[in-house]
């Protein structure tokens, strides 16, 4: 399994967003294309990283991110 990832441009970077899946609100810090497989067969997905007001960062599918 490769540990490589690649940053993906996103129009909402550094702006307030909501994670639809959890309802969490924070600032979109990054969108990365990552290998999310735990097997030898790679599976790549775009993950959004949201920094919550507490400073904790959560990840979610980029499709779950909406602007506030």
pLDDT digits (tens, 9 = 90+) for 5-61: 678 899 999 999 999 999 999 999 999 998 888 899 988 899 999 999 999 999 999
Look up residue 55 and give its DSSP letter. Answer: S
CA angle 59, 21, 19 (to 5 degrees): 60
Question: Is-contact 33 46, C-beta < 8 A?
Answer: yes
| pTM assigned to the model | 0.86
Look up residue 17 and give its DSSP letter. Answer: E
What is the H or E stretch that residue 67 is in? strand 65-67
- Chain-centroid distance of CA 34 in Å reads 10
Reply yes or no on whether the pLDDT at 1 is more than 50.
Answer: no
């Amino acid at each position: 399994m490769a540990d490589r990832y690649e940053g993906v441009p996103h129009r909402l970077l550094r702006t307030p967003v909501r994670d639809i899946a959890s309802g969490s609100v924070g600032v979109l810090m990054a969108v990365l294309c990552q290998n999310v497989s735990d097997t030898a067969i790679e599976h790549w997905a775009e993950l959004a990283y949201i920094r919550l007001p507490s400073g904790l960062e959560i990840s979610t599918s980029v499709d779950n991110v909406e602007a506030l």
